[in-house]
Chains A and B, each alone.
Chain A
């Protein structure tokens, strides 16, 4: 029990001493913390951005929708029959029939090109069947199988899954996410080097103190301790700074993003770093700070032996 108390007392002592030491060189400490903060904020912000984009694209996915553009020489009657046939399948919830006439009218109305289009002698648009699969049949794989089947019908010219662009976007986002992980790894190494270099300088500055401490019986663990705390504190402070940077950038962006999503008719609201991401960011900063200090101090401590 007494040993445990002494153990914590010693760590508390080292911690207090470390904070004092950091306060004595505020500029160097702040510079290091700022560099760590930016290095951590970069991948964290990109991660949040991609995360939001993924949430947004998921929202758009809905229950898939398939547009069947029918061959132009098909009669409305034949088209209606096909619609009825498809409607009877049990993986289909609903089929809307848009005749060539309707399609043309709608296009004239929506495009604002009404007058010009009067000059067309023939209606250039095909009839369309908009097929709504049931929600059970809306998984990516089943949908694709369904599209392939429908495409093979003689009446169908083009079968298009409206999801395709979403899936492509998601593939891009997946790639971006992977890139952020790699970038994050590189920046983590950068943080290790930054902390390592700061600690190396600190060790050099305190050469005399280390030498004398060794002469009066200090163990390597004792000498290492304040440097490890320096790394830990700087890493943690850097992570806190990164958190502030990310959250405030998101706050600055939230207005424009809301306008944009409203224009697209979506009620989407961006999210920042949630609880678990914040904890991960903090642990990453602290861990990298500690590890960088441990690597540097281990290498340079042996070089200082009393003469």
Chain B
């Protein structure tokens, strides 16, 4: 599903955020991306989502060589991904329902189908009763769950999450983890960037550890 070979990222400031990264994530696999703050976790996820482009090396995602995806093709490519952002990126002048529906509206899905899918996604994150609320009236954890619902509503084949449990207490964090595990069991490939060692221990999945932009440890695939 994801294949990085000798990928480096140097920002316009001249800072090397990622250096010579090599790894492969199989279809349906689940893995965590960890490391200190500033290690390059978010940068790596941004390369996968084509928010940033690699400076060097080759990245293949979902059988697509990212270097060959043109500007015009980026939107279609992104529709195959579900992304949970570190800062949620919710729209505060729209209801929870409309926020979650956005990826489907953008893809031109039919009205009735959208309603069904959005409610199913909200049910998974236990927010069905908040569908008419505005994100600003929700707690941090609830907002995070809205952004998860938006990431999964399009049934993506690859789910990326950047600190999806950053603002949650242990119990909520575990509930969220269970949601990701559930998607993983249904065949979705999942890559989660996190600091949360408790989460790593509980999930017992593959861990890729970044240190100052280098891949310091990769404990390989574990079932």
Enumerate chain A interface residues (CB-CB to B < 8 A): 6, 9-10, 13, 208-209, 211-220, 222, 306-307
> In the assembled complex, how far is the CB of residue B81 from the closest CB belonging to chain A, in whole angstroms?
8
> In the assembled complex, how far is the CB of residue B169 from the closest CB belonging to chain A, in whole angstroms?
27
Residues from chain B with a CB closer than 8 A to the CB of A10 are 108
Q: In whole angstroms, how far apart are the Cα atoms of A13 and B51 in the complex?
A: 28
Given A222-B106, A307-B51, the answer on whether A215 and B91 have CB atoms closer than 8 Å is: no
Which residue of the partner chain, among B106, B110, B111, contacts A216 with CB atoms under 8 Å? Answer: B106
With both beta carbons as reference points, the residue of chain A lying nearest to B71 in the complex is identified as: A220
What per-residue 1/0 map shows which CB atoms of B74-85 lie under 8 Å from chain A? 011111000101
With both beta carbons as reference points, the residue of chain A lying nearest to B83 in the complex is identified as: A215
Judge if B102 is at the interface, Cβ distance under 8 Å.
yes
Enumerate chain B interface residues (CB-CB to A < 8 A): 49, 51, 72, 75-79, 83, 85, 89-91, 102-103, 105-108, 110-111, 150, 154
> In the assembled complex, how far is the CB of residue B99 from the closest CB belonging to chain A, in whole angstroms?
9
Q: In whole angstroms, how far apart are the Cα atoms of A263 and B83 in the complex?
A: 80
> In the assembled complex, how far is the CB of residue A304 from the closest CB belonging to chain B, in whole angstroms?
13
Residues from chain A with a CB closer than 8 A to the CB of B154 are 216-217
Residues from chain A with a CB closer than 8 A to the CB of B90 are 212
Are A212 and B89 closer than 8 Å at their CB atoms?
A: yes
Q: In whole angstroms, how far apart are the Cα atoms of A220 and B75 in the complex?
A: 9
Are B102 and A213 closer than 8 Å at their CB atoms?
A: yes
Which residue of the partner chain, among A208, A209, A219, A307, contacts B75 with CB atoms under 8 Å? Answer: A219
Are B106 and A306 closer than 8 Å at their CB atoms?
A: no
With both beta carbons as reference points, the residue of chain A lying nearest to B73 in the complex is identified as: A219
Are B91 and A212 closer than 8 Å at their CB atoms?
A: yes
Residues from chain B with a CB closer than 8 A to the CB of A218 are 75, 106
Residues from chain B with a CB closer than 8 A to the CB of A213 are 102, 106
Are A208 and B78 closer than 8 Å at their CB atoms?
A: no
With both beta carbons as reference points, the residue of chain A lying nearest to B153 in the complex is identified as: A216
With both beta carbons as reference points, the residue of chain B lying nearest to A216 in the complex is identified as: B103
Main secondary structure of the interface of A (DSSP, over half): helix
Count of A-B contacts judged by CB separation below 8 Å? 54
Are B75 and A212 closer than 8 Å at their CB atoms?
A: no
> In the assembled complex, how far is the CB of residue A180 from the closest CB belonging to chain B, in whole angstroms?
44
Residues from chain B with a CB closer than 8 A to the CB of A219 are 72, 75-76, 106
Are B51 and A212 closer than 8 Å at their CB atoms?
A: no
Are B89 and A211 closer than 8 Å at their CB atoms?
A: yes
> In the assembled complex, how far is the CB of residue A15 from the closest CB belonging to chain B, in whole angstroms?
14
> In the assembled complex, how far is the CB of residue A14 from the closest CB belonging to chain B, in whole angstroms?
10
> In the assembled complex, how far is the CB of residue A217 from the closest CB belonging to chain B, in whole angstroms?
4
Residues from chain A with a CB closer than 8 A to the CB of B51 are 215, 306-307
Q: In whole angstroms, how far apart are the Cα atoms of A10 and B110 in the complex?
A: 9
Given A209-B91, A306-B51, the answer on whether A214 and B75 have CB atoms closer than 8 Å is: yes
Q: Which 4 A-B pairs have the closest CB atoms?
A: A217-B79, A216-B103, A217-B78, A218-B106
Q: In whole angstroms, how far apart are the Cα atoms of A270 and B31 in the complex?
A: 81
Are B102 and A212 closer than 8 Å at their CB atoms?
A: yes
> In the assembled complex, how far is the CB of residue A300 from the closest CB belonging to chain B, in whole angstroms?
16
Given A209-B91, A306-B51, A307-B51, the answer on whether A215 and B108 have CB atoms closer than 8 Å is: no
Interface CB pairs A-B, < 8 A, 16: A9-B110, A208-B89, A212-B102, A214-B78, A215-B83, A215-B89, A216-B78, A217-B76, A217-B77, A217-B103, A218-B75, A219-B76, A219-B106, A220-B75, A222-B106, A307-B51
Residues from chain B with a CB closer than 8 A to the CB of A212 are 89-91, 102
Q: In whole angstroms, how far apart are the Cα atoms of A213 and B108 in the complex?
A: 13
Q: In whole angstroms, how far apart are the Cα atoms of A211 and B78 in the complex?
A: 13
Q: In whole angstroms, how far apart are the Cα atoms of A147 and B11 in the complex?
A: 86
Q: In whole angstroms, how far apart are the Cα atoms of A214 and B72 in the complex?
A: 11
Residues from chain A with a CB closer than 8 A to the CB of B89 are 208, 211-212, 215
Which one of A9, A208, A217 has the greatest number of beta carbons of chain B within 10 Å? A217
Given A215-B78, A217-B79, the answer on whether A6 and B102 have CB atoms closer than 8 Å is: no
With both beta carbons as reference points, the residue of chain A lying nearest to B85 in the complex is identified as: A215
> In the assembled complex, how far is the CB of residue B98 from the closest CB belonging to chain A, in whole angstroms?
11
